Every structure is written in C-alpha cells, then in structure tokens.
Amino acid sequence: MSLENKKIFVTNALPYANGPIHIGHMVGYIQADIWSRFLRMQGHDVVFVCASDAHGTPIMLSAEDLGVEPEELALEYTRQHENDFKDFHVSFDNYHTTHSNENESLVREIYGKLKENDCIRTEVIEQAYDEQEGMFLPDRYVRGTCPKCNAADQYGDNCEKCGATYKPTDLIDPVSVLSGKAPSLKESEHYFMKLGMFESMLSEWIETIDIHSSVNSKLKEWFEVGLRDWDISRDDPYFGFLIPGEEKKYFYVWLDAPIGYFASLKNLSDNSDLKFEDYIHNDSNTHMVHFIGKDIIYFHALFWPAVLDGAGLKKPDAIYVNGFLTVNGEKMSKSRGTFIKARTYLDHLDPEYLRYYFAYKSSSGIDDFDLDTADFENRINADLIGKWINIASRSSKFIREHFDNHLSKDIDEDLMKTFDLKADEIKAHYQNREFGQSMRKIMLLADKANQYLDQEKPWIMIKSEKEKENVQRVCTNALNIFVKLSIMLKPVMPDVANNVESFMNLSDLDWSNISDVIKNHKIKNYESLLYRINEEDIERIIKK
C-alpha cells in the first residue's frame, strides 16, 4: 500500500488514566514512534496523536477511595503519562484526554448520525447488580468461569485463555469483584449498536486493510460465531458523558475512547494550521493507522470501524498489533520485582537503551517477546557501545590529537558506496515495521566498520610520518560510516543521533543524507555518547 502523497494519521491505543504506565505498555508506543519518526525522515506528512482514556467505573471507584473527584484523578494520571511518553522520546504531535469538550462534542455528533442511520436500538436487559454496593457491575467487575472453555477466574466480557466474548451473565459461578458476593440480576433499558448489520461490510473491509494474517484469521473466527449487537450504555453511577435525552445513562467508555483519536486531532487542529476535516472523511487523502495491543483487536477491527461506517466517516487503513512483554520469561509481577513502571526505568537508565532493545526484539507480527535482563545488558554493551559508538570513539581520537579535529580532503568513495547500498534494504524493513531486521543489519554494518579499522590499524600507521595522511583518511572514512549508521538508527535513538550531529558539526540529518560525503570538515571534540550498563543498574530497578 503506497503512502506517497498521502497524509498519514497515526494513533496509539489510549492508556487508561487509572494508574501509571509500565514498560509493557511502552512496547506499542515505542514501535509507533519509531515508525512515525522513520516516515518523517522520508519526507512524509505524519500526524501522530494519542490521549488518555479518562472515563469508566474503575476511575470513578478509585477516585472515591482516594477522596478526590474522578476528573482530578484522571487529569493527574494524564499528566504523568504525558511526561513518561515525553521522556521516552515518543514524539506525539498532540496528547489529549477523552474527558474533553472536543470528545464530548464528537461523541454526540457521531451518536446522532448513528441514530439517524438506524444503527442504534434499545432493549431492556438483565444485568449483574451488586446488592451490597448498590450498583450495576461493569463487565470487568464480574469474574467467573468461562462458559466456552471452562477457564477459571475470567473477566465478564471475554476469556483471556480462549478469546471468547460473552456477557457477564453467561459466566459460570460469577462473583462481584467489589464485594466478592454473587451478583443478582436486575433489569435496565440499554442502548445497542447494531453491529450485526455491518457484518458483510466488515468481512470485506478487513481484506482491504494492512493487517497481520494472524489478526485476520482471528477476526474470521468472530465472523463465524456471528457479530452481536454492542451495548454502548452504562447506568448511573458512572464517570463519562451522559447520553443525550437521558439523566442517568452514560455512554460506555468503549464508544467515546476511540473517538478520542479524532478529539486529539481536533484539539491539535484548533491550535495549529492543520485542518481536521482533511483527515476524517471517506474522500480524504489520508492513510489512517492504529497501533494497538492484541487484547483490544475486537474493539478496533470490528466495533470501531462499524461506528465510523455508520457515521459516514473514514475507516482505518491499517491496524498494527503488538504482543505482550514478559520479563525474564515471566509475566510482569510485583512480587518478582519485574512489574517495572516506566518512571522507575527512566529514573535509572537511558530511555534509548529500552527503545533499542524493543526495536531489536520487534517484528511486524503479534508474538509476545521477552525482556531478558542479562540479554538486555549484553545487547546494549555489545551492540550500541561495542559496535556503533566504538567507531566514533576509536576514530575521533586520532582526528583530535593529530589533525586538530579536521577531517581529510580525501575519502574512499567506493568504500562509502558499499555501506550506502545497504540503506534501501534497511529502509524497507523500517517501512514494514520489521525493526528487528533493521537493527541486525545495521549492527552487521557496524561490525564491518570496526573490521575496516582493525585492518587499517591507524594506531600503528600514526607512528610513521609518511603514513600520517592515511590515518586522517582512514578515520575520516570511519566517521563517515558512523554518521550513516547514526542516520539509520535515528528513528530508534533520536537523542543520541542529535548528539552525533552536534559532535560532527552537522545540521539535522535526514535519510536523504545517507549518501552524503563529509570531508575537509571541522568536527568537535568527542564526548562520550553512551555509557556501558552493568548488572547493578538493572538490580536497582528491580529493587525499586
């Protein structure tokens, strides 16, 4: 699917504003950021937005426990999340919240269109009700045995083991998460999105979008079962937007959360020269991409496009799904010290180490991957320090000490071309989100650059006055290769790449600069660009 001459609209799944971000969350945000940065380096028009998911019963109940208003709690976590993303160098053009005027206005507008197009119906249903707490229970506040595979302790909306979706009332031996007691059943009128009427459209649409084959197969399983109408309302008490014409019924968070993508875009457009209408209509020249975790495929690939289609708006062109992160082969666990908050990591280690490791382990598939702390330490020290940064530290020493930081007028053009020829291959891997392939190929090139220095032996040549010019030429060649590799790594390690530009006395480097030759040029004194990590650095994070 060509992206040429298109506006590219990239979103990340909205983090829930009820707790801190952890490093498992960061997988999808880092992947989306790498891809967005890469496309910007290709000259594409990219808008990359996100927001906090700020509604729902869990936020309401947490706020009650803390003695604060739900808005206050959601705002505090929104601030924390935004700071965490910023410090991990995630380059959102806008970060907003679903609890906003823009979102409420869009939710009402889209709901109005859905009603107008006969996509909404009402029905009196029986719901799980906690008599002790005096409230209807959200799906995830009922747990019990899966009615399909008999897995114990599953949520009231879907089974984590077999992937089945169902109603809380379908659970075997259900209990309330709040009181631990079996819920009663109570009638209430609810609003439903007629998801079944979109089944034919959706089954055709998923064949036209950029989506992994395994995700496509999973979606077909849901089609085989048949799509059920989707409950889009919740009863009071609830933290969210009131349904127009109702006094005690609210839109379910899963209706207003994805509309939050558009709300963040609208907020950006209201504060810039970007035109909101250019992105959201079917005839817009836009490529819309969602990066999400594999636990929310159903919502993004079935419910959300049905809502958009029913409202006459543009549907996504691509949905990229990431797997989950394990740490040292285990699910993240507080008791094992592997439930690592993003801020805890940031307090102890460079964010670009984790960005590199996640890129190295990433593919376009949806498999889970492991952060093995020993492998992490080795990968950073061996690849980033021992291969890439080593080229600059080895070469710049001779340029500084013997040539007053001045690069040679002479350069080996043929040697440069051998590295330039690999750029398109690495570029294609980036484009296809095969970041691990890109990292491996870049490190192979770094190996070749170090082998070149080992063969030329500038530390021996410098002892001979006759060979002095050759030392300058060899080190100039090596530093040119170092810059090429830095450009290739810039989507993953933007901060270090900026420091490379400063050290090399160059302006903002883009992918188009990979074939540039830098000669007869004054550079600055080399200062350490990265530091080695050790077991103690990681132990401090685990201990914290």
pTM of the complete model:
0.94
In degrees rounded to 5, what are phi and psi of residue 300? -85, -30
Helix (H, G, I), strand (E, B) or coil at 11: strand
Close Cβ partners of 149 (under 8 Å, ≥ 6 residues apart): 159, 161, 162, 164
Two structure tokens written together for 341: 């908050």
pLDDT of amino acid 335: 64
pLDDT of amino acid 414: 96
Whether 477 and 415 have beta carbons less than 8 Å apart is answered as yes
Q: Which of 74-88, 158-172, 360-374, 398-412 has the lowest mean pLDDT?
A: 158-172
CATH number of 7-112+236-346: 3.40.50.620
Two structure tokens written together for 144: 């019990």
pLDDT at 337 over 70: no
Whether 405 and 505 have beta carbons less than 8 Å apart is answered as no
pLDDT digits over 235-258, tens only?
998 999 999 999 999 999 999 999
pLDDT of amino acid 360: 98
pLDDT at 91 over 90: yes
Two structure tokens written together for 220: 């077909």
**Topology classification of domain 376-513:** Isoleucyl-tRNA Synthetase; Domain 1 (1.10.730)
Average pLDDT over residues 218-227: 92
Long-range own/partner contacts, residues 469-473 (CB < 8 A, 24 or more apart)? 469/408, 469/410, 471/398, 471/402, 472/398, 472/399, 472/402, 472/403, 472/406, 472/407, 472/408, 473/408, 473/410, 473/411, 473/412
pLDDT digits over 152-205, tens only?
999 888 888 888 888 888 999 999 999 999 999 999 999 999 999 999 999 999
pLDDT at 282 over 90: yes
Q: Are strands 45-52 and 94-97 parallel, antiparallel or unpaired?
A: parallel
pLDDT of amino acid 339: 86
In order of 62, 68, 367, 452, 478, the CA distances from 472 in angstroms are: 64, 66, 47, 14, 10
Q: Which CATH architecture has domain 121-193?
A: Beta Complex (2.170)
pLDDT digits over 66-81, tens only?
999 999 999 999 999 9
Domain ranges of the chain: 7-112+236-346, 121-193, 376-513
Close Cβ partners of 49 (under 8 Å, ≥ 6 residues apart): 9, 10, 11, 92, 93, 94, 95, 96, 261, 264, 265, 268
pLDDT of amino acid 160: 81
Average pLDDT over residues 22-30: 96
Average pLDDT of the residues of the chain = 95
Nearest alpha-carbon partner for 300 in 209, 190, 431: 209
Average pLDDT over residues 512-529: 96
pLDDT digits over 491-512, tens only?
999 999 999 999 999 999 999 9
